[in-house]
Each structure stands twice: as C-alpha cells, then as structure tokens.
Amino acid sequence: MNHGSGGSLAGKLIRNIFVKRFGMDEPLTDSAVLKENGLLLAFTTDSYVVDPIFFPGGDIGKLAVCGTVNDLSVSGAMPKYISASFIIEEGFSFHDLALIADSMSSEAKNAGVRIVTGDTKVVEKGKCDKLFINTSGIGMMKSGFETISSAMDVKPGDKLIINGPIGNHAIAVLGARKELTFSSPVTSDCASLNHLINNVLEECSEIHFMRDLTRGGLATVLNELADMIFSGIIINESTVPVEEPVKGLCEILGFDPLCLANEGKVLFVVGNEGHQKVLDVLRSHPLGKYSEVIGEIVDNGRNMVILNTAIGGRRIIDMPSGMQLPRIC
C-alpha cells in the first residue's frame, strides 16, 4: 500500500519498474511536454480510486477532472481536452453513475475544458471497489513557461507561496470514510486551479516553479523541489495555513498536515521582487483568498527542507516514506 502513497516508496516503484523501461525523461513532472509541428502540447494521466466516492466538497468525478486540469496547469499549460475512462463494478447504481457524470460535466464547464473521448469497462462484483476513473488530458503550453516544471530558474531568496490552508481534502475524505463528526465541517478543497494559475502567469513576473500539492502533500513537493535545485528550503510553520478542525484531528490521530493530500492547492516559487504582486493576484481570486508566503529558498549547501516550528524549534521535513491515508485520490 505504501507504494501507492506518492511518497518515496512510490517514487522508487515508478523509477525501478517503469521509467527506464519506457525511456521517460527525468525529472518526472506532472505532464509530458511534446513538440509537434512547432506546437507544444502537455499530456498527463491519472487514475482515481478515492474511497469513498462521495465526500464533502466533491466526488470521484469532480476529483478526476480537477486533478488532470491541475496537472496540466502547473506544467505551464492551458488545459483543453480530457478523456474519461470508467471501470465500474457490476451492480453499481445508474443513479450514482449519473451523479458522477453530472459532476464531471459541471466541473469541466467550470474549468473550460472539453471531455472528448471515453471508455467504460464493467468487472464482476468484488473485482473492483465501486468505481475507478481515469482521466488523461491535453493542454497547450503557454509560451515562456516551457521550463517551469524543471525549476531551473529557482534561486536562493525566492519566496514560497501557497494559495490557502492545507490538509482539507485528506481529512474530508477520512471523515466521510470513518463517518467522523467534526466541531465545524471539513470540506475538501477539490477545485480546478487553471483560472487562478492563469491569472498569476498573465499578471505576474518571476514565477520560477509551480506544483500542485496532491498525494504526499506539501512535504513531498518540498523535498522533490529541494532535490531538483540542490538547495535548502526553510518553511515557517506559523505561516502555513491549516484550518482548526484539521489541526485538531491531526493532533488526535498523529497526522502531519504537511504530509496530507490536497486537491486545490498549489505551491508557487517566486522571485523576491515579484512575490507581493503574486500574493495580491492570488488573494483577489476565490480560490486564493487565504494565500500565504510560507518560506524561502536558502543557500545552505544542502538539499534539505527545514521547518521553523511554531514553538521556536527547528526540524527536518523528510520525504514521507509511506502513506498516512490510502486511496485519498
């Protein structure tokens, strides 16, 4: 199960089994960038196996559209076309399937993408868990952002910005799974970020890197980034937004919010000069109202992620090796 976590074991599985055999390019990013007749396309795929399929703030269908839209967007592409492939357990209700298709259709409209091709398979009862959805997506690379996934322009002094509180998606799904009741409701942040990201790319300069904070959470993205740039990263815990009920449940269950999955959060790395403008643009959009600067890139000679804790200590944030919660997306 830990190999499906998005953490270091997942990375090992992917590198050891697939990357060499398929001749894929490193670093592994959210989308492949393909050049055809002078046109730069981004191409990405994700299978969604979230359990349960309905949760506060979304369902597997909405998630499947948002996830692929976001993978294209953080690659510097304008998402355009989505495929939708369904593996359905025998006996699954038509009513629920229609609800999920409705939610995909409405999220696609929101994001301004078209679902253009699809497939359905049905397997015997007990051979899959209700419904799995794969979405693949094609986007058009925005000119000037071809190398953004490589983080090659990131340098010491750059600021790290996220667009709001982390951990909601994981806790909302866990809550739905375990039928937990919260003092105040926790809703998944599941959202298509392409319009928000587009605003930033159009209006701001010095955007050096973007990545959505999905499986493996902020901790995974920060460690991957540190490895890519061979520099240190310092995060100030007191500035990382986490909603109270999420914080509370993490304390009770021993989860680290930094490792929890999100489905509507993106990390921007921005040059020091440009960061205030990015913050302003983000905060003026409904999906970025609670954006914060959470840390910066430092030249400490080691590709290490350091957390200045809220109580004045320091600790290393490691790549999560396994998973806190399985089947979160």
Binds its own copies by CB under 8 A, chosen from 73, 134, 220, 291: 134
The pair of three-digit structure tokens given for residue 79, joined into one six-digit string: 């998402």
Decide: 64 and 101 in contact? Cβ < 8 Å.
no
Residue type, 324: Q
What secondary structure, in 3-state letters, does 44-112 show? EEEEECCCCCEECCEEHHHHHHHHHHHHHHHCCEEEEEEEEEEEEECCCCHHHHHHHHHHHHHHHHHHC
Q: Is the dihedral of CA 68, 119, 62, 11 positive or negative?
A: negative
Q: Is 18 in the site for its own copies (CB under 8 A)?
A: yes
- Is the Cβ of residue 119 or residue 299 nearer to its own copies in the bound state? 119
Q: Is 256 in the site for its own copies (CB under 8 A)?
A: no
Residue type, 229: I
How many residues bind its own copies, per CB under 8 A? Answer: 66
Binds its own copies by CB under 8 A, chosen from 62, 63, 76, 86: 86
Q: Is 31 in the site for its own copies (CB under 8 A)?
A: yes
Q: Is 234 in the site for its own copies (CB under 8 A)?
A: no
Q: Is 321 in the site for its own copies (CB under 8 A)?
A: no
- Is the Cβ of residue 32 or residue 304 nearer to its own copies in the bound state? 32
Binds its own copies by CB under 8 A, chosen from 54, 56, 101, 145: 101
Binds its own copies by CB under 8 A, chosen from 52, 83, 248, 298: 83
Give the list of residues 6+ apart from residue 231 with CB closer than 8 angstroms, or none.
Answer: 154, 155, 156, 297, 298, 299, 300, 303
Distance, first Cα to last Cα, the chain = 14
Q: Is 97 in the site for its own copies (CB under 8 A)?
A: yes
Alpha-carbon gap, residue 252 to 268, rounded angstroms:
30
Closest approach of Cβ 18 to its own copies, in Å? 6
Closest approach of Cβ 201 to its own copies, in Å? 19
Decide: 26 and 208 in contact? Cβ < 8 Å.
no
Decide: 151 and 297 in contact? Cβ < 8 Å.
no
Q: Among 234, 221, 217, which Cα is nearest to 295's? A: 234
Q: Is 39 in the site for its own copies (CB under 8 A)?
A: yes
Q: Is 4 in the site for its own copies (CB under 8 A)?
A: yes
Decide: 303 and 232 in contact? Cβ < 8 Å.
yes
Q: Among 40, 22, 45, 58, which Cα is nearest to 119's? A: 45
Q: Is 34 in the site for its own copies (CB under 8 A)?
A: yes
121's enclosing H/E stretch is strand 114-123
- Is the Cβ of residue 135 or residue 291 nearer to its own copies in the bound state? 135
Q: Is 107 in the site for its own copies (CB under 8 A)?
A: no
What is the chain's length?
329
Residues within window 288-317 making contact with its own copies, judged by CB under 8 A: none
Any idea what DSSP says for residue 287? G
Q: Is 199 in the site for its own copies (CB under 8 A)?
A: no
- Is the Cβ of residue 127 or residue 302 nearer to its own copies in the bound state? 127
Of the candidate spans 78-86, 144-152, 250-258, 304-312, the one that interacts with its own copies by CB under 8 A turns out to be 78-86
**Site residues (vs its own copies, CB under 8 A):** 1, 3-4, 10, 13-14, 17-18, 21-24, 31-32, 34, 36-37, 39, 41, 43-49, 51, 80-81, 83-88, 90, 94, 97-98, 101-102, 104-105, 108, 114-124, 126-129, 132, 134, 136, 138, 140, 326-327
